Structure 1
């Protein structure tokens, strides 16, 4: 069974509080008792001085203390008891339990202090007297007749009788303290429990994460550092979830990539193998037919070469090992090369290639001329492949003080809205009927090139055709 942090923390704090309560109660009891006895001592000492003065002046005195159970004795200089209280002296039966019952016992108790009092000194103390079971208050006063010392006056009272009055107070004090302790422990439990709750949630959440569930979160409303810990835990969980999703996506991309590469390589290799076997078996005798086979093998080998080149190029770009040095570049030579290269191809395909005046007047831009030419080649080649005969492919541009936008549009069948988000993925071909016309890597290459140039590329399409556009910065 798991040990509960809440239980352990609560028990430990409770134990400390209980021990502190016991120690404080004992100390409080001692302090209160000492204060009470000292107050009593300070209260009795002036009364004893008054009684001693009365005896010195009148020879006799009376006091209510005798009826309260106090032992009061007077002795002359020869240590003989002086009869100074008359009939007010209590009998032995009136003495409280624990006090000396006979004169010898009283003398034994106060004997250590007689010489000090008769010598003219004073005594006021709480001490353990001989022949008594408990500590007692002892007060000794010299008796003077005028300026002459004639004897000493002593008072004895066990503190157990004086402190009996405190017992009721101490019981009340203990009950109040126990109630305060119980209330403190209850409040402590109510405070600790919500503080521990986030830790319990994080424990269960971490166990869930260990099992592969990364979408768990904990409330970040804990106290102080616990709240920060909960927030950090949620950030960690979020990043782990992102990494997990990225890993899953990467694995899926890897599988798709392998499948696409395998598919793209299988088709031309199968064609080359079939045609070479046919020629090798001497099954074709017509010379013109042989040339057609040779030409087809050559086309398929070129396609393989182009596919491998595109794959290597895309791999280099995505690995970050290729760096482009940007400079101020003139657009006019690029447009002239593009027009020269694609005008003949468009004419052979019976497609109208239109370069607008804006395209011819594209201002200088800050970039890489060869790579921009490569992007235009990819977009125009793609547009011509997906445009039917008698269609139109247009190269246009617009700009402001900062950015040039170059667009390549066609009048082909367009791309469906569902397929638009995937047109820049590797090996993606929106028109499956044209699967043999390209490698499916051109648009991916174009996007990687423009990304490395810190430019953007986009597409919009409709039933009237498709338009690809990208940006070039002038500065």
Structure 2
């Protein structure tokens, strides 16, 4: 993994660097080529105009004043014994190009390279057009790329004018930028070499950078592999102030939480086993009682009318207890299923409390307890919920309060309504709940077996908690063993 990721980082980095260098280099070469062509063009134009100006001064000094232009420059030069060839040959060497001069009258090419004359008709049409424009007193230029790579041809025509504005001739320069190709190629090779050198130099920092990324990732991979095998004690040990550090810290937090979840799962599994063992024992007892009673009745061991009735009542009680356990298991299973739908409708929660108290009041009376309901007369609390489920939730807690209260002690049911919602508190004085048991009273598989809970299934409070959760009701328990135990329901206002 490490080598693969390092190779990928190097590959991506190299590709990005090559792309960047190619783009920058291409833009540089385009700009450099345009600038070079422009500089060559400007240089040849200045040279042409300088030669034309120099010739105009030379002619104006050497030729007779107001000589007839129509007679031709060539004739006047013969009469004045001017050796223009030597002068133009010198100018041609300075210009580093082909240098021509065209007579304004006879339009005869007097000099090419300062050595010999050619006829005007042999000049290409494009050049003749430039000469015609220069005859009007305007410097003209034509440029085009030649067949050779990166070589451009310039043809510049500049008028030779006297001080009185007369154009006596035109200077034509045909310039080639042959050395421009080598200049641009040299710049390109320098640029390519610089890019290659930069790439080689940056490989080492890239390797260091890639390892700085890959090593923490490799460590995190090893830790996650150990976590998948159940080892939640492993830590990455990566301390960074970036996204990799955040990821490593999250993995460490996850390992802690998985370790805690594993511990809780082990405890829950143990509770489940204990619960199943208790339930099996509880089911075995009534089944054994029912079976032994039926065998006694069928074998005729019991014949007295009172004994027979006693056996029937005992079997009925045991069957009721078994039915209650089965119903609680089915009820809890349904409430644990997220797809199980609870029918909710607008109700008055105060009516639910009063109904539960009214129903269980006679049971409490038979057990020697009084239920005291503390509410404000006429007060209502609108709520959207399942009336039957809410009644079952409160009834389970109130029934437990009756079951575990000290004989003769009253049971308090207090309802208060404020800006936060409705708070319902069911309190009793009895055996209470041990501190170690408080965190588990609402767990599905937690059950305390004792003389006071012989008929219990250990599922009532778990079912009550599920009903409360389905209605977004907070439920909690507080207890001081032997003094006071309270179950508190916090019902928020609904919009």
Equivalent residue, structure 1, for 2:9: 6
Q: For 1:109 and 1:270, locate their aligned partners in 2 and report how far apart those are by CA, in whole Å.
A: 138
Summarize deviations over 1:39-59 as a string: whole Å, max 9, x none.
222222232222322343344
- Stretches of structure 1 lacking an aligned partner (at least 5 in a row): 61-73, 347-352
The verdict on how the C-alpha distance between 1:167 and 1:369 changes in structure 2, with shifts beyond 3 A counting, is: closer
The within-5 A match list for 1:19-418 is 19-59=22-62, 76=74, 84=83, 112-113=122-123, 116=128, 121=135, 159-160=177-178, 174=190, 178=194, 182=198, 208=224, 212=228, 261-277=279-295, 280=298, 293-317=311-335, 320-323=340-343, 325=345, 326-327=347-348, 329=351, 335=357, 337-346=359-368, 353-356=369-372, 359=374, 365-366=380-381, 378-386=396-404, 391-402=407-418, 403=422, 405-412=424-431, 414-418=432-436
How much does 1:311 deviate? 3.2
How much does 1:213 deviate? 8.8
Aligned-partner SS, 2:424: strand
How much does 1:342 deviate? 2.5
| Number of residue pairs matched by the alignment | 424
The verdict on how the C-alpha distance between 1:180 and 1:211 changes in structure 2, with shifts beyond 3 A counting, is: same
Q: For 1:288 and 1:155, locate their aligned partners in 2 and report how far apart those are by CA, in whole Å.
A: 144
Q: Contact 1:384 / 1:393 at 8 angstroms: preserved in 2? A: no
Question: TM-score normalised to the size of structure 1?
Answer: 0.61
Q: For 2:445 and 2:308, locate their aligned partners in 1 and report how far apart those are by CA, in whole Å.
A: 32
Q: Over the residues paired in the alignment, what is the CA RMSD in angstroms?
A: 6.2
The verdict on how the C-alpha distance between 1:447 and 1:466 changes in structure 2, with shifts beyond 3 A counting, is: farther
Q: Contact 2:405 / 2:428 at 8 angstroms: preserved in 1? A: no
Aligned-partner SS, 2:435: coil
Aligned-partner SS, 2:461: helix
The verdict on how the C-alpha distance between 1:79 and 1:278 changes in structure 2, with shifts beyond 3 A counting, is: farther
Aligned-partner SS, 1:461: strand
Q: For 1:137 and 1:406, locate their aligned partners in 2 and report how far apart those are by CA, in whole Å.
A: 104
How much does 1:7 deviate? 3.5
Q: Contact 2:140 / 2:158 at 8 angstroms: preserved in 1? A: yes
How much does 1:36 deviate? 1.8
Q: Contact 2:413 / 2:425 at 8 angstroms: preserved in 1? A: yes
Aligned-partner SS, 2:457: coil
Question: TM-score normalised to the size of structure 2?
Answer: 0.59
- Stretches of structure 2 lacking an aligned partner (at least 5 in a row): 64-71, 100-111
How much does 1:135 deviate? 7.0
